[in-house]
Structure 1
Amino acid sequence: MSTAAATGVWGRAEQQDFRSRVRGTLLGAAVGDALGAPVDELSLEGIREAHGAEGLTEPAPAHGRRGTVTAATQLTLFTVDGLIRAQVRRDTGAWHPPTDLHRAYRRWAATQSDWGPDERRKEDGWLAREEWLYSRRSPARACLVGFGDENMGTLEAPMNPDEKGTEAVTRSAPFGLLVGWEPQLVLQLAVECAVQTHGHPSAYLAAGAHTILVHGLARGESLDGAIQRALALLAARPGHQPVTDALKHALGAVRQGMPTPSRVEELMGDGGAEGALAAAVYCALVGEDIRHGLRLAVNHGGASSAAGGLCGALLGALHGETALPPGWLTELEGRATILELADDFAMEMTQGPALHGPAVSSPGWLARYPRA
């Protein structure tokens, strides 16, 4: 994987491995999000009262049925869509990925106010015409405000400068799948897109750190190695200390014996982005398998869907799609859309020049991901 990522020359086995990790990341994030959604508002005692002494061990109904996702998964998919559109627009010379991502997030914002897809807006591409994405799943005010504004937040003038919530970090895993990019550039892009809604350093640097973790795992590194790289890159960023401390706290907790919900809850802290990231990293490190890790990530009194989604993205990037629980995937809302988008992303990143460029242009691809 690392050779292909560095040279841009992809063999068949490397393409298959990358596609599996892309699928694993997106499906893992969605499965973790959906697993945690039914218990998001519950204390640990409330979870046990509703689901038994062991807590939530299998998907449970939320938003009307089992397997439904939250706004975090919706936004993650529009992150992928924006990244593909950015690559396609690169041919035009008008290449500024944060702007392309902002446009993608504004397409998500339209799904939160419109009744359904508008067939007249062909420039929106295929994802914005998926009807299931028009379900409103408790979107955070920070996202509605940030993406409801035509003016894009920047590092110099971020949107919601005091916002520390989890919504920027939970949509940021796809940036880590840019395996051909250097880690510091991936971090920079994630941060520039996070400040479009979350202007506090704890929130946007947590998003950057999560991106670096996914990036390392997608390139075949260990989670420990990815954490060390994230810590090194964070050290150069103003305001990094809360996120750095949270990651170090997660590493220290691994050595404190058997994992418990109370330890996960302690890592979650006050429910900010860095706490959700720390809890997810801890659960990914100590989980005996993906099921165990995800169950740990959602059974506590904190932001269960956020921690579950972050943990799922890490484990999916690490192990690939085939390690995810098949029974949980069968009921996952939007699974066909997620797989289609994941495969499109993998194809764009490994075979983009064969789809669009000076010498060749696929009308079907440009209809799916318009340059406009």
Structure 2
Amino acid sequence: MASIGLRARARGALLGLAVGDALGAPAENMKPSEIRARWGRITGYVSDNPSGTDDTEYAIFSGLLLARHGSALTPSHVEAAWHEWIADRDEGPFRGAGFSERGTLENLRRGLAAPISAQHRHAWSDGLAMRAAPFGVFAAGRPAEAARLVAIDGSVSHDGEGIHGGRAVAAGVAAAMAGAPSDAVVAAALAVVPDDSWTARSLRRAVAVAHRGERAVRSAVVIGGYPWTDLAPEAVALAFGAYAAADGDFEQSVLTAVNMGRDADTTAAVAGALAGATQGVSAIPQAWATPIGPVRGRCLPAMAGYHVLDVADLLAPAPDATEPEPTDFVLAGDGTETPS
């Protein structure tokens, strides 16, 4: 996999996110039994006009923000972007946005600033995890840097486990971007979150049973009877569990996530980003890639017209012939990266 170029991995990660989002959207908030009753096993698009949801549009938002500021990103930059592209616009209710985004929006419109803007009832949601992949693309081969940057983005909208989930995804994608095998991708994610966090415990449980398939992963992670499906510790663990169960294979990673239900658009988006970075854009079936066009701005009108592939190219420019791409790495015991 080391022969896959950085641009191909970047495009795989972000197109993989959008494809997973579109595949999983019809199954969102459903149980596996409900999915089977309606479609059997989902093996492709089940809607006539598949498209991404808020997950894709917020990932584009974060990708553009990162392309603008890079490693110099600050909470003030993030807060200003929320005002410029979301809060200070009059385009309506931002349909499809999660509870964490709505809570953040209300706080910003009341004049609250980060980190107080993240003090709402859903700071633990997977809303940061769903937009975390661009940070891994930008910081390819540098999981700790990807985690640092995504936490800055999340400081406006999330706290606690919500931040942990974003850090895990960003670090995992960063490792995959450097050609790390699936077990090292998981290790990179675990290295940037506290060992005793809910996110880490759920992630470890999911990966430990991944070899037994999606039913075992779901049983190890999901809290039965809990009504909210956008819990970051649950969604992130399901996504990594699907990725581990498929050993990084793109199609199987995404379909495993989709067929587990719960917050299926987000879990499949994260699994798709991880597997897309691992295998590159050519691993995404053409029948899945073709319907993904520029986003429609149904949730974030300011993002209308942007395509995830354009964002990927901004974050991973074509390499200069004199500048080598990031080397493959092995994860040291302290979570730092060292050349392999």
TM band (smaller chain): 0.7 to 0.9
Residue 196 of structure 1: how far off its partner (Å): 1.5
Closer/same/farther in 2, CA of residues 319 and 29 from structure 1, 3 Å limit: same
Name 1:232's counterpart in structure 2: 191
Which is worse superposed, 208-217 or 338-347?
338-347
Paired residue secondary structure (1:234): coil
Closer/same/farther in 2, CA of residues 97 and 222 from structure 1, 3 Å limit: farther
Residue 337 in 1 paired to residue 293 in 2?
A: no
Runs of 4+ in 1 over 4 A off after TM superposition: 110-113
Q: Distance in 2 between matches of 1:282 and 1:245?
A: 12
Closer/same/farther in 2, CA of residues 301 and 178 from structure 1, 3 Å limit: closer
Paired residue secondary structure (1:160): coil
Q: Distance in 1 between matches of 2:24 and 2:236?
A: 15
Name 2:45's counterpart in structure 1: 59
CA RMSD, Structure 1 to Structure 2 (Å): 2.9
Closer/same/farther in 2, CA of residues 344 and 260 from structure 1, 3 Å limit: closer
Closer/same/farther in 2, CA of residues 75 and 157 from structure 1, 3 Å limit: closer
Contact 2:134–2:170 (CA under 8 A) maintained in structure 1 = yes
Query: Which AA in structure 1 matches 2:50?
Result: G
Closer/same/farther in 2, CA of residues 107 and 17 from structure 1, 3 Å limit: farther
User: Structure 1 stretches of 5 or more lacking a match?
Assistant: 3-12, 116-134, 352-372
Contact 1:67–1:333 (CA under 8 A) maintained in structure 2 = no
Name 1:243's counterpart in structure 2: 199
Residue 147 of structure 1: how far off its partner (Å): 4.0
Query: Which AA in structure 2 matches 1:330?
Result: T
Residue 112 of structure 1: how far off its partner (Å): 7.8
User: Structure 2 stretches of 5 or more lacking a match?
Assistant: 296-305, 321-340
After superposition, give the CA deviation of every residue in 1:255-303 in whole Å (9 maximum; x if it has no partner).
4x3x134633542435311111111111111227322221110112411
In terms of fraction of residues, the more helix-rich structure is 1
Residue 31 of structure 1: how far off its partner (Å): 0.5
Residue 254 of structure 1: how far off its partner (Å): 2.3
Residue 212 of structure 1: how far off its partner (Å): 0.7
Contact 1:213–1:227 (CA under 8 A) maintained in structure 2 = yes
Residue 143 in 1 paired to residue 127 in 2?
A: no
Q: Distance in 1 between matches of 2:90 and 2:311?
A: 23
The 5-angstrom pairing of residues 164-313 of structure 1 reads 164-179=124-139, 182-199=142-159, 201-235=160-194, 240-255=196-211, 257=212, 259-261=213-215, 263-264=217-218, 266-269=220-223, 270=226, 271=229, 272-287=231-246, 289-313=249-273
Which of 103, 114, 122 aligns to 1:153? It is: 114
Q: Distance in 2 between matches of 1:268 and 1:175?
A: 27
Closer/same/farther in 2, CA of residues 37 and 81 from structure 1, 3 Å limit: same
> TM-score under structure 1 normalisation?
0.72
Residue 114 in 1 paired to residue 91 in 2?
A: yes
> TM-score under structure 2 normalisation?
0.79
Q: Distance in 1 between matches of 2:292 and 2:280?
A: 17
